[in-house]
Amino acid sequence: MISNLLTAGYQYPDGHSVDFYGVEVVQFYVQRFLLYFSDYAIHIRVLYGMILLCILTLIVLFVLFFLKIRRNNRDRRAFEAARADLYDGFYHVLTSDTMSNYEDVEIACNATLDNIKKKYRPETLSRLISEICMDLSRELPNIPNAEALCALTDVKAYYERNLATGHLVLQTLQNVVNMHICVSEGLLAVYINHYNDNVRQMARMCHVISSQADPYHYFISDLENEHGVWRLMMLHRLFAWLWANDRQMPQFLILTENIENEESVRFLIEEVAYWGSEREKAELHTLFLSPNYTYRTAALHAVALLRDASQEQAALDSYDQQPESVRQEVLRVLAAINSGKHVDFFVHAYRTSSSKETREVALACLYSYGSAGRYAFEELRGEVLESKTDRVLLDQIDAMAIINQMRML
């Protein structure tokens, strides 16, 4: 059968014949195909050629599509099997208070590491560990055994190989950042100044994790770029990991002096409330009268998060010098600290403000300001019986507070 496919023959009228072998067979059929269309006009031949090319392209695409489906199904089945066999064991290792070794992993998974690595590819184990770490990151600021588990299962070696070969670079960098794995700075050097914004910024986050000598070398220039909400959330998680591992923290307020991007400065000021030093937290009031209103709002928001009573008076003193949008933040600061001293101030803000939003914020703060604030709120309700607009506003505040209390049940 194979010999018949690789040979062909042609018989002349006088009885002589010629046999073709190998490549000559292909050349023979190509020549016959060209001769068959040689009598057609050029545009007909071009159309036939385009149709044939489209058919061949569709066949190739169909084969590739079929192989892609098979590969995806194979990867899905492998991941589901790994999830069923190893999820509980990996979860136990990742949440352990002590640094795990290979014996702990084998006991938790009820299987030897050699069998685990033989049965599942590093890509599958990487996906499983990453999923567990993302679930745990909602509850824990630090997962200390993530790097140890990745090293024992050869997932870390898989990441380093990807970075060395340029394979799945962005996905690899995202996994390294999400799991806070230290990798060689030499592998990151290629991507630190990469032309792709996402790759470059992920690589610089990895540099913060991996570098002990100068982790924030590229940090300032990176913050000058525009950031989406997701990237700011990743930076917040990164700071949480640095703080939990007693790593060198950035000096947030000093960084703000060298950055022109307003959103980045706002983010850094608010991060002081979470990870700033005690000195930085105590200096937030110096920004209450900053020339930039965005920075004022961020500083007030940070003080509200801290509930710092020592800066309450500074916020109160700045109220008259603030625009309406920032005045609302001052009211929220006083409500968050909840010292009980400023019931009359909330009432005054409600009665004197020309902004509906500021009056609404003042009433909401008064309502949540302890029993004295609630009593003053009810007194105001009695005073505005003849004003339909004010009565509706107070009723809305009351209704929303009741709904929020029901949600907490």
**Domain region containing 297:** 251-339
What are phi and psi for residue 18, nearest 5 degrees? Answer: -130, 130
Q: Which residues contact 359 (CB under 8 A, 6 or more apart)?
A: 349, 350, 353, 393
CA angle 328, 332, 336 (to 5 degrees): 175
Same domain, 358 and 327: no
Same domain, 371 and 387: yes
Amino acid identity for residue 187 in this structure: L
* Arithmetic mean of pLDDT, 20-34: 75
Same domain, 267 and 291: yes
Any domain includes 129:
no
Q: What is the per-residue burial (b if ≥16 Cβ within 10 Å, else e) of 201-237?
A: bbbbbbbbbbbeeebbebbeebbeeebeeebbebbeb
Amino acid identity for residue 353 in this structure: S
Domain count, the chain: 2
pLDDT on residue 388 = 66
pLDDT surpasses 90 at 17: no
Any domain includes 98:
no
* Arithmetic mean of pLDDT, 21-33: 76
CB 171 within 8 A of CB 123: no
Distance between CA atoms of 189 and 204, rounded to whole angstroms?
A: 9
pLDDT surpasses 60 at 29: yes
Proportion of the chain above pLDDT 90, given as a percent: 59
Tokens for 397? 């505040």
CATH code of the domain in which 303 resides: 1.25.10
Distance between CA atoms of 352 and 246, rounded to whole angstroms?
A: 48
pLDDT surpasses 60 at 407: no
pLDDT surpasses 80 at 318: yes
pLDDT surpasses 50 at 49: yes
pLDDT on residue 218 = 87
CB 84 within 8 A of CB 104: no
Any domain includes 96:
no
pLDDT surpasses 60 at 4: no
Tokens for 338? 């909840």
Give the residue from 309, 339, 369 where a domain finishes.
339
Same domain, 332 and 259: yes
Distance between CA atoms of 29 and 50, rounded to whole angstroms?
A: 19
pLDDT tens-place string over residues 80-133: 999 999 999 999 999 988 888 888 899 999 999 999 999 999 999 999 999 999
Going through 128-273 in order, the beta strands assigned E by DSSP cover none
Distance between CA atoms of 359 and 394, rounded to whole angstroms?
A: 10
Any domain includes 318:
yes
Lowest mean pLDDT among 7-16, 215-224, 277-286, 397-406: 7-16
Any domain includes 303:
yes
pLDDT tens-place string over residues 225-279: 888 888 899 999 999 999 988 998 999 999 998 888 999 999 999 999 999 999 9
pLDDT on residue 409 = 43
Same domain, 298 and 349: no
Any domain includes 13:
no
Same domain, 255 and 327: yes
Any domain includes 160:
no
Same domain, 333 and 308: yes
Any domain includes 21:
no
Lowest mean pLDDT among 165-179, 320-334, 390-404: 390-404
Same domain, 335 and 349: no
Give the residue from 315, 339, 363 where a domain finishes.
339
Q: What pTM was computed for the model?
A: 0.80
pLDDT bucket at 209, cuts 50 / 70 / 90: very high
For the chain, the average pLDDT equals: 87
Q: Which residues contact 263 (CB under 8 A, 6 or more apart)?
A: 226, 227, 294
pLDDT tens-place string over residues 282-293: 999 999 999 999
Distance between CA atoms of 255 and 265, rounded to whole angstroms?
A: 8
Same domain, 256 and 333: yes
Distance between CA atoms of 264 and 227, rounded to whole angstroms?
A: 8
Question: Residue 260: which H helix or E strand, with range?
Answer: none
* 388 or 161, greater pLDDT: 161
Burial of 20: CB neighbours in 10 Å, binned 0-12, 13-18, 19+: middle
Give the residue from 321, 339, 357 where a domain finishes.
339
Largest CA distance in the chain: 122
pLDDT tens-place string over residues 141-155: 788 899 999 999 999
pLDDT on residue 10 = 53
pLDDT on residue 406 = 46
pLDDT on residue 93 = 93
Same domain, 399 and 382: yes
Same domain, 352 and 290: no
pLDDT on residue 65 = 96
Same domain, 262 and 335: yes
